[in-house]
Amino acid sequence: MKRYATVLLLILLNFSCDLDKFESEVSLPRIFEEGMVLQRDQKISVWGKGIPSKKVRVSVAGLLGSTEVQPDSTWSIKLPETKAGGPYVLKVNNLQIKDVYIGDVWVAGGQSNMEWALKSDVIGAETEFKEGGFPEIRFFKVPQSYSALQLEDVTGGEWKVATPENMPDFSAVAWFFAKRNHLEKEVPVGIIESNWGGTPAEGWTAVSVLSGMNASYSEEAKDIQDNPEKWQEEVKANEKRREMRNMLVSRPDSLTALEVASLDYNDGNWKRIELPNSNPLQHIAWTRKVFTASGAKATLHLPGIDQMAYIYLNGHFLHYKDWGAAMPDIEIPAEWMNDGKNVITVRAINTWNNQPRIGEKGEMYLTQGTNTISLEGTWTYSNDVVEPMLPKVDFLNWKPGMMYNAMIYPITNYAIKGAIWYQGESNAGKANEYHELFSAMISNWRRDWGIGDYPFLFVQLANFMERKSPQPDSNWAFLREAQTQTLALPNTGMAVIIDIGEENDIHPKNKKDVGERLWLQARKVAFGEKVLASGPVFESAVLDGDSLILNFSETGEGLTTSDGAKEVKGFIVGNGSDFKEVQAVISDKNKVIIQLDNSQTLEVRYAWADNPEVNLINNAGLPAVSFRSKIELDQNQ
């Protein structure tokens, strides 16, 4: 009996020792936290750091795995693939992460049109908020950061459940995409937002890729690759300047602001400027306008403010206009208005380029009943109300590889279904480089994720700027062509939105159609469904006498026009730089006919302008893809 007791004690001691190994401290990347979504039907990577030689055990949803911490303090485990479900608890030694779901995970990348939040005047957003969200849709926002060195982890972030409180800050495009994914596939959905307004594609691509290319950014990429420590020092210095700028542009001292905004304030030493003609202004721009009104309630109409502004009337704080938010008409109570002289004061800031703008012609006034009081004309202006000039902050995040190192590389171990992407505006001036650059970026991401050619779905540039026709030299048209050429890569899809842009706004507010057109591409590319996911695509042209017959694919039940017109708008023909508009009509389910005059060499283009007037669609309502094609004509005809 004594012998059995001794053996039992030894077994218990050994078990205790093994358990202690698994109870050793470990650390996980920031993306592993409560509320996370893991990718279904793929091996699940879990990684982190720990004490060398100690054991690590991971479990979730009945999946188990264990490993040993390497000498460099790192460890990594791949759990078997599993179906969607949850909520689960992810256990890593003595750590427990609750409320974990398994479903579809997408990276939402790009510049401001992907970053654009639901709260920023997006069409239909209020309806989304009222519906209350979906608890199985979660967003993780990667903080905007950049680095000359590849980072092991992102700098922050947390998973947020789609509730009415959290949804306003979600990417609008990604939200409408995620909602369709969740409802149609009936699985949890995780969106990893990694985007930054105004950024070029080279900033999202590794310098090791860019340095070997023959492009305008290649030499700089090579310098960053060869001298990362030097560049990282500049990054640190630039961030110190950013911190100082952000401190200066935050809400002004209340007492100072109310003093400057009062009618009695002496602004005799301020400059005199004419608004809106004097736009843009500089730095932190304090401006004042004295006007005459009655002591009745009023409404301020001043929508043209870029980017941010604090607005005061007669020493009262009226409104803070944030970046990306629309400037509403502001109701002013009668007790704040004077019968006689009044003063409006605006403190405006633009952190994008230190050049704020206040007002637009015809859009600067107050109303009192039927009376309109213009605010255009002479204002006083100062850049020196206590605050110093803003320090210059460079766009180092635009530099080759900078955002890739800090916002993409650290998450490349995280299993995903694919990526959605909306970017290109910042590369429009270099469309000749974009096809190679964009293709290289996609291949770079896929290689570093190591899960094969995962679906990469992107948005083609919308229509924007003044409408001109013909416009054969349009930079935006050439950039769209480069985006279309990128479809040569496997498992890619493109959402065309040439019909839902806005002439005066680079950020069109219809994000619902954008997200849902991306989802159509996901159904086809990512889930293998046989759906009509694209608008009409040009295939070939045949000359028949004086008629040019254009053949299209992706026509569904047939070509039609969005406005019901018989004439198809948006075609131009020409030679070299000499182009003209031509009439075109639909002749069959998949054909368009253009009548030509005598010509020896012809090029035909469709939707070839910054903001083309177009109406060719298929029966699914999807717009035709822009194109250009040279047609050699028979000289004997």
Question: Are residues 555 and 563 in contact, defined by beta-carbon separation less than 8 angstroms?
Answer: no
Tokens of 48: 């982190």
Q: What is the pLDDT of residue 599?
A: 62
Architecture of domain 254-382: Sandwich (2.60)
Which residue, 496, 521, 534, is CA-closest to 419?
A: 521
Q: Which residues contact 399 (CB under 8 A, 6 or more apart)?
A: 146, 202, 203, 220, 224, 231
Q: What is the pLDDT of residue 634?
A: 53
| Bridge partner list, 585 | 567, 593
Q: Are strands 547-553 and 591-595 parallel, antiparallel or unpaired?
A: antiparallel
Question: Are residues 540 and 551 in contact, defined by beta-carbon separation less than 8 angstroms?
Answer: yes
Q: What is the pLDDT of residue 122?
A: 96
Question: Are residues 383 and 271 in contact, defined by beta-carbon separation less than 8 angstroms?
Answer: no
For residue 499, count other CB atoms closer than 10 A to its CB. 21
Compute the distance between CA of residue 620 and CA of residue 625 in angstroms, rounded to an integer: 14
Q: Which residues contact 219 (CB under 8 A, 6 or more apart)?
A: none
Compute the distance between CA of residue 177 and CA of residue 133 in angstroms, rounded to an integer: 13
Tokens of 91: 């256990």
Q: 495: helix, coil or strand?
A: strand
Q: Which residues contact 400 (CB under 8 A, 6 or more apart)?
A: 202, 203, 205, 207, 210, 211, 217, 220, 221, 224
Tokens of 220: 């700089």
254-382 and 537-632 share one CATH topology? Answer: no
Name the stretches of the chain with pLDDT < 50.
1-21, 635-637
Q: What is the pLDDT of residue 254?
A: 78
Q: What is the pLDDT of residue 485?
A: 98
Q: Are strands 95-110 and 418-422 parallel, antiparallel or unpaired?
A: parallel
Tokens of 54: 């100690």
Enter the DSSP assignment of 307.
Answer: S
Compute the distance between CA of residue 249 and CA of residue 245 in angstroms, rounded to an integer: 6
Enter the DSSP assignment of 626.
Answer: P
Tokens of 226: 């060869």
The residue whose two tokens read 């100072």 is: 256
Q: What is the pLDDT of residue 111?
A: 98
**pLDDT tens column, 467-523:** 999 999 999 999 999 999 999 999 999 999 999 999 999 999 999 999 999 999 999
Domain boundaries, the chain: 254-382, 537-632
Which residue, 320, 349, 303, is CA-closest to 505?
A: 303
Which residue, 240, 224, 221, is CA-closest to 232?
A: 224
Compute the distance between CA of residue 551 and CA of residue 593 in angstroms, rounded to an integer: 9
For residue 490, count other CB atoms closer than 10 A to its CB. 12
**pLDDT tens column, 338-377:** 999 999 999 999 988 889 999 999 999 999 999 999 999 9
Compute the distance between CA of residue 391 and CA of residue 401 in angstroms, rounded to an integer: 25
Q: 12: helix, coil or strand?
A: helix
Tokens of 443: 């291949």
Q: 348: helix, coil or strand?
A: strand
Question: Are residues 294 and 313 in contact, defined by beta-carbon separation less than 8 angstroms?
Answer: no
With respect to CATH, is domain 537-632 assigned 2.60.40?
Answer: yes
Q: Which residues contact 397 (CB under 8 A, 6 or more apart)?
A: 144, 145, 146, 196, 199, 203, 403
Q: Are strands 189-195 and 159-162 parallel, antiparallel or unpaired?
A: unpaired
For residue 62, count other CB atoms closer than 10 A to its CB. 10
Torsion, Cα 500 502 505 509, to 10 degrees, reads -40
Enter the DSSP assignment of 252.
Answer: P
Compute the distance between CA of residue 177 and CA of residue 160 in angstroms, rounded to an integer: 17
**CA torsion sign, 105 to 110 to 111 to 113?**
negative
